[in-house]
C-alpha cells in the first residue's frame, strides 16, 4: 500500500495524519515507511526528534543523486533511517530540498521517487508520503508514486474552495502519469461537532457526493504535546480520544483491503 497525504493548503494536518497513521500501522507489526517530501521537515522532526538534525542521507541526497550520473548510485534503502519506534522507518526531508526543484523539473525526474518506492516495496508493506503545501514537483512525484490519495480537510470555507482545484490536479495526474491513483477519501480534521459551520460545510461536501470519510478527527492540544515530545499519539497517549479517532480512521481505511 502506497498512500500520499496531500493538500495544497498549509496547516491542515498533513504531517500529523501521515505520521500517526503510519505509527498505528507499525504498532500492529506492519513494516511501515514514512517519506517526508516537505522542506519544513515536520514528519522528520516528529519521528526523529533531535536526531532529525543528524541524518547524512535524506530526501535531498536522494534527489541530488538523481541529477548526476553515478557508476554506483546509492540504493533507495540507503536514504532510509530507522525511528525509535519498532517497524517504523523514515526517509527524512531536508530544509534545502526545495532548492532542487527547478533542476529536477528541467531534467524530467518526475518518476524517480516511484522507482525508489518500487525498490523499497519488498522491505515495507505500507508507505505514507507527506507532501509540501503546494502542487509542485515533489507533490506530483508523490502522486505519481502512490496508489491512494488521502486529503486532509479542516472545515474552512477557503479549504472547501481549494478542494475542487486539488481534486482536479489528482484527476490530471491519474490521466497523465498514474492510472492506478485513486482518491481514497477526505479526512475531516480539527472537527468541532458542536459548531454549526463545520457541520454545514461537511454536509455540503457529502451532498455533492465527495468521498468524505466517516471518521472525524477532533481538535486537541494533545496533538501539539505529541509533536513536542516527538512521540506519535499511539505511543504517547493510546487511550486518548484523539488517538482512538486515529485508530478508527486507520481501521476505516484498511477495511476491505
Helix runs in 95-238, H state only: 101-106, 112-120, 137-145, 157-176, 196-207, 221-229, 233-236
Residue 11 confidence (pLDDT): 80
Query: What are the DSSP calls for 154-194, one per residue?
Result: -S-HHHHHHHHHHHHHHHHHHHHT-TT-EEEEEEEEEE-TT
pTM of the model: 0.95
CB atoms near residue 4 (< 10 Å): 28
Contacts with 71 (C-beta within 8 Å, 6 or more apart), sequence order: none
Q: Which residue has the cell 501521515?
A: 18
Q: Where are the domains of the chain?
A: 2-254
CATH code for residues 2-254? 3.40.50.300
Average pLDDT per 10 consecutive residues for the chain, totaling 257 residues = 89 93 98 97 94 76 88 90 97 95 94 96 96 95 97 82 89 96 94 81 91 94 96 97 97 84
Picking from 39, 31, 13, 59, the residue whose alpha carbon sits closest to that of residue 227 is 13
Residue 61 confidence (pLDDT): 93
Residue 256 confidence (pLDDT): 60
Amino acid at each position: 500500500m502506497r498512500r500520499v497525504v496531500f493538500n495544497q493548503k498549509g496547516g491542515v494536518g498533513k504531517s500529523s495524519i501521515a505520521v500517526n497513521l503510519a505509527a498505528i500501522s507499525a504498532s500492529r507489526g506492519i513494516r511501515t515507511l514514512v517519506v517526508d517530501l516537505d522542506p519544513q521537515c515536520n514528519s522528520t522532526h516528529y519521528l526523529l526528534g533531535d536526531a532529525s538534525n543528524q541524518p547524512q542521507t535524506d530526501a535531498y541526497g536522494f534527489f541530488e543523486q538523481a541529477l548526476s550520473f553515478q557508476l554506483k548510485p546509492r540504493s533507495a534503502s540507503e536514504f532510509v533511517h530507522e525511528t525509535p519506534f519498532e517497524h517504523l522507518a523514515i526517509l527524512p526531508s531536508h530544509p534545502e530540498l526545495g532548492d532542487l526543484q527547478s533542476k529536477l523539473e528541467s531534467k524530467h525526474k518526475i518518476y524517480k521517487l516511484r522507482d525508489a518506492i518500487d525498490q523499497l516495496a519488498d522491505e515495507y508493506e505500507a508507505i505514507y508520503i507527506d507532501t509540501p503545501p503546494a502542487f509542485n514537483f515533489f507533490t506530483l512525484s508523490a502522486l505519481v508514486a502512490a496508489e491512494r490519495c488521502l486529503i486532509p480537510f479542516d472545515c474552512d470555507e477557503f479549504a472547501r474552495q481549494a478542494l475542487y482545484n486539488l481534486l482536479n490536479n489528482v484527476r490530471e495526474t491519474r490521466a497523465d502519469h498514474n492510472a492506478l491513483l485513486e482518491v481514497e477519501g477526505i479526512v475531516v480534521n480539527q472537527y468541532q461537532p458542536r459548531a454549526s459551520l463545520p457541520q454545514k460545510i461537511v454536509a455540503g461536501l457529502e451532498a455533492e457526493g465527495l468521498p468524505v470519510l466517516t471518521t472525524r478527527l477532533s481538535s486537541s492540544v494533545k496533538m501539539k504535546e505529541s509533536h513536542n515530545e516527538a512521540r506519535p499519539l499511539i505511543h504517547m497517549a493510546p487511550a486518548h480520544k484523539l488517538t482512538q479517532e486515529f485508530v478508527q480512521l486507520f481501521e476505516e481505511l484498511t477495511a476491505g483491503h
